[in-house]
Amino acid sequence: MTTLIHLFPGQGSQQRGMGRDLFPRFPRLVAEASDILGYDLAALCLEDAEARLGRTEFTQPALYAVEALGHLARVEDSGRAPDFVAGHSLGEYAALFAAEAFDFATGLRLVQKRGALMGAVSGGGMMAALGLPLERLQSLLAADPGLASVDLANQNAPLQTVLAGPVAALEAAGLAIDAAGGRAIPLNVRTAFHSRHMAPVRAEFSGFLDGIDFAPLMLPVIANASGLPHRDGEVALRLAAQIDQPVRWVESVQYLLDEPDPEFLEIGPGQVLTRLLTDIRKAPVPANIARRF
């Protein structure tokens, strides 16, 4: 029998129209979400008349809700729960919901707070570095003292790493990447997510997490901050660390690829994680490479 693994994408996967087939199936949860958020969840996702879906404070609750409902629908339709779950950045919250670490409403309040804190931060940015392996990218950054403020934020695939830091330093890093034969693509983000520059947000969010009771996990959930399964009693610690630490996606997927006959299913809008999975399968890297961040 295959090992069924549900994957949940993070911010950037949102799109207008998401949830169209899900909202009529779960009217009670949709109404509950709208009450908690203070606005109409379905109208935001389906119409986005005020162009708010791309703003972090709206994106995160909306995407979590759609992915959580998508998980419920998939289990209901297939009659089979996944054996493992993992989510990229924000997607980790949908994964934890699937593992019953908290109920739908608690998860929504968590991402509402997370999105509000992260959305309030400005200054800095992010850049995708394509075509260079992690070691080469690390060498480039280490060789220039002017790039010391740039962090490795996400290792998405063996040849795709996202950098975060001050805009001027990122621009300089982009020139070095291009000169080394890679390709640097600035992302439409005005905050250095998953980097040391988010430490104040981590501190505030950590205090919020202290008030949450996390239930024992009913499924193994891979933690972004470690690339290994969450352990009961440490979920809040790992979620706080996720704010200013890199997303170890390559390492997370490699851990799952070691399971017997793994079958991956992306739950959420788009297929970004499915494409990354293909890249990771084609060009595997040593399992400990992301630990050198």
Q: Does residue 269 share a domain with residue 256?
A: yes
Structure confidence at residue 1 (pLDDT):
86
d(C-alpha 160, C-alpha 30), whole Å: 36
**Domain, as residue range, for 113:** 3-121+195-292
Structure confidence at residue 189 (pLDDT):
87
Q: Does residue 277 share a domain with residue 208?
A: yes
Contacts of 78 (CB under 8 A, 6+ apart): none
Contacts of 15 (CB under 8 A, 6+ apart): 53, 269, 270
Q: Does residue 221 share a domain with residue 89?
A: yes
Which one of 153, 168, 186 terminates a domain?
186
**Is 194 among the catalytic positions?**
yes
Q: Does residue 212 share a domain with residue 117?
A: yes
3-state secondary structure (DSSP) of residue 60: helix
Q: Does residue 153 share a domain with residue 240?
A: no
Structure tokens at 43: 């109208």
Q: Does residue 11 share a domain with residue 81?
A: yes
Q: Does residue 148 share a domain with residue 182?
A: yes
Q: Does residue 211 share a domain with residue 116?
A: yes
Number of domains in the chain: 2
Residue 5 belongs to what H/E stretch? strand 3-8
Q: Does residue 229 share a domain with residue 207?
A: yes
CB burial readout 68-97, b (16+ within 10 A) else e: bbbbbebeeeeeeebbbbbbbbbbbbbbbb
**Is 6 among the catalytic positions?**
no
Q: Does residue 94 share a domain with residue 232?
A: yes
Q: Does residue 147 share a domain with residue 81?
A: no
CATH, residue 93: 3.40.366.10
Q: Does residue 247 share a domain with residue 232?
A: yes
Which one of 138, 167, 186 terminates a domain?
186
Structure confidence at residue 284 (pLDDT):
55
Distances (CA, A) of 216 to 77, 92, 219, 221, 224: 25, 16, 9, 11, 18
Structure confidence at residue 293 (pLDDT):
37
Which one of 186, 215, 231 terminates a domain?
186
Q: Which residue of the set 6, 71, 88, 194 is catalytic? A: 194
Q: Which residue of the set 13, 89, 226, 252 is catalytic? A: 89
d(C-alpha 104, C-alpha 35), whole Å: 13
Q: Is the dihedral of CA 120, 122, 124, 125 positive or negative?
A: positive
d(C-alpha 170, C-alpha 189), whole Å: 12
CATH, residue 139: 3.30.70.250
Structure confidence at residue 291 (pLDDT):
41
Each residue's pLDDT tens digit in the chain (293 positions)? 899 999 999 999 999 999 999 999 999 999 999 999 999 999 999 999 999 999 999 999 999 999 999 999 999 999 999 999 999 999 999 999 999 999 999 999 999 999 999 999 988 999 999 999 999 999 999 999 999 999 999 999 999 999 999 999 999 999 999 999 999 999 988 899 999 999 999 999 999 999 999 999 999 999 999 999 999 999 999 999 999 999 999 999 999 999 999 999 999 999 999 999 999 998 755 544 444 33
